[in-house]
Amino acid sequence: MTSLTPSEKALVPFVSVDHMMKLIHHVGLEDMLRGLAVYIEEDFKRWPLFDKTPRVASHSEKGVIELMPTSDGDVYGFKYVNGHPSNTADGLQTVTAFGLLADVASGYPVLLSEMTILTALRTAATSALVARTLAPKGAHVMAMIGNGAQSEFQSLAMKAIAGVTEVRLFDIDPAATAKCAANLAGHGLTVVSCKSAEEAIMGAQIITTCTADKQYATILTDNMVGAGVHINAIGGDCPGKTELAPAILHRAGIFVEYPEQTRIEGEIQQLSPDHPVTEIWEVLTGQAKGRVDDTQITLFDSVGFAIEDFSALRYVRAQIAETQLFHPLDLLADPDDPRDLFGMLQRAQ
C-alpha cells in the first residue's frame, strides 16, 4: 500500500481535533460534506466487498461504548464511540469518538484521527445522501427535531446535498434551539424556530429526528406524519432507545444501513424480526427500488454503520496528504532488529 521505510511506517499520522477543525475550514464545511458523501456513496456501491458485523456494544446504565470495525480487504478501519445522553448535564458531550485506518497487508496503522467532529459530518453526509435519494421531488423544507450537537451539521448537509432551503427547528430545551438558530445564521438557510414538534413539521417534506434520550421515546406520533414525507430518524440508535411511534413504521417504506445491526439498535427493534426493510446500498446501486410514489412515507432508520466511518477516514487520509494537517505520532515500537524489542528497551535506559 505504501513504499515507506519501516521507521517511517512506525510514525502514524494523527489528526487532532485542532487539525480536523483546520481541515474543515481549509476545505470549506459544505464542500467537505459533499466530498464525504461522494466517498460514502462509493463505498456503499461496493458494499459486498466489506467485512461487516453489528458494532460491539458495552452498555451501562447511563450510556454505551461501542467499537465499529470493517475492512475492504486492503484497508481495515474501526471507530471507538460512546453515547451518553445525560453527559450534557455535566458539561460533557453525548457522543465522542476517535478512529483508525490500518494497512491490511502489514497490519500497521496508517491513520489515527479524532472522530467526534468527523462523526457529526459523516452522519450528516449520509443523512443527506439518503434524503437526496428518497425524499419527494422538490423537497426543500426540513423539520429538525432535536437541536443538539448534530443539528447544524444535519441542516447544512441537507442544504449542500439534498436541496433544503428552510429548516424548522424544535427542541424541548429552547436554549438548544436558540443555539442552533444562531449557529445557522448567515449560512444561507431560512431558519424558523418553533415551539412544538407539530409546528416544526408544518410544510416540511423531510423530518429529521435527532434527539438523545435512553428510552422508547415518541418524538413523532402517527398522526403527525402525512403522506409523502421522508423521515430521517437519527437519534434511535441503541437497544431501548427509539424516537418513532410503531404505527409510523407500519405505514413507511423502511430503508436501513445494515439490517443485522439496525434490527438491534434502530426504530425497527419495535417490529417483528422479519419485517421487510430495504438496504440503502441496494437502492444506490439500482438493485432495489427507492421511493415508489409521491404518497409513500420513506423512513431512513439510521443508526450509523462502520463503513460510513471507514469512508470518512479514507476521505481525511486523502485530504491530509495534501495539507500536512497532522502530527506524526510515535505510536508503534520500532526496533532496528524487529525481533530485538527488549534490546531497544534496554538501550533507551
Could you say whether residue 304 binds ligand NAD (CB under 6 A)? Answer: yes
Q: How far apart, in whole angstroms, are the C-alpha atoms of residue 154 and residue 167?
A: 10
Q: Which is nearer to ligand NAD, 12 or 82 (CB)?
A: 82
Give the position of cell 424544535.
170
Where would I find the H helices in the chain? 6-9, 17-27, 29-44, 116-134, 151-162, 174-184, 197-201, 246-251, 259-265, 280-284, 306-323, 341-347
* Residue 82: half-sphere exposure toward Cβ, Cα within 13 Å: 12
Q: Which of 70, 113, 123, 319 is the binder for ligand NAD (CB under 6 A)?
A: 123
Q: Which entry of 171, 237, 301, 309 is annotated as an active-site residue?
A: 237
The H or E element spanning position 192 is strand 190-193
Residue numbers 63-102 binding ligand NAD by CB under 6 A: 83, 88, 94-95
Could you say whether residue 51 binds ligand NAD (CB under 6 A)? Answer: no
Could you say whether residue 213 binds ligand NAD (CB under 6 A)? Answer: yes
Could you say whether residue 173 binds ligand NAD (CB under 6 A)? Answer: yes
Question: What order of strands is seen across the sheet that includes strand 230-233?
Answer: 190-193, 166-170, 141-145, 206-209, 230-233, 297-301, 252-256, 278-279
Could you say whether residue 211 binds ligand NAD (CB under 6 A)? Answer: yes
Q: Which of 97, 124, 106, 112 is nearest to 35 (CA)?
A: 124
Q: Which of 70, 150, 278, 319 is the binder for ligand NAD (CB under 6 A)?
A: 150
**75-83 and 97-103 beta bridge pairing:** antiparallel
Select the span of 69-77, 300-308, 325-333, 336-344 touching ligand NAD (CB under 6 A). 300-308
Q: Which is nearer to ligand NAD, 111 or 306 (CB)?
A: 306
Please name every residue paired with 241 in a beta bridge, in sequence order, or none if there are none.
238
CB contact at 8 A, 299 and 231: yes
Q: Which of 308, 332, 303, 270 is nearest to 77 (CA)?
A: 308
CB contact at 8 A, 116 and 200: no
Q: Which is nearer to ligand NAD, 150 or 278 (CB)?
A: 150
The H or E element spanning position 176 is helix 174-184
Q: Which of 217, 264, 271, 344 is the binder for ligand NAD (CB under 6 A)?
A: 217
Q: How far apart, in whole angstroms, are the C-alpha atoms of residue 244 and residue 300?
A: 12
Could you say whether residue 142 binds ligand NAD (CB under 6 A)? Answer: no
Q: Which of 205, 302, 311, 319 is the binder for ligand NAD (CB under 6 A)?
A: 302
Residue 35 cell numbers, joined: 466530498
Residue numbers 248-287 binding ligand NAD by CB under 6 A: none
330 counts as catalytic: no
Residue 64 cell numbers, joined: 454505551
Q: In angstroms, give the least distance from the CB of 241 to ligand NAD.
A: 7
Q: Which of 176, 200, 299, 316 is the binder for ligand NAD (CB under 6 A)?
A: 176
Q: Which is nearer to ligand NAD, 93 or 285 (CB)?
A: 93
Select the span of 48-56, 100-108, 187-195, 298-306 touching ligand NAD (CB under 6 A). 298-306
Binding site for ligand NAD (CB under 6 A): 83, 88, 94-95, 119, 123, 145-150, 171-173, 176, 210-213, 217, 219, 234-235, 237, 302-304
Catalytic residues: 237
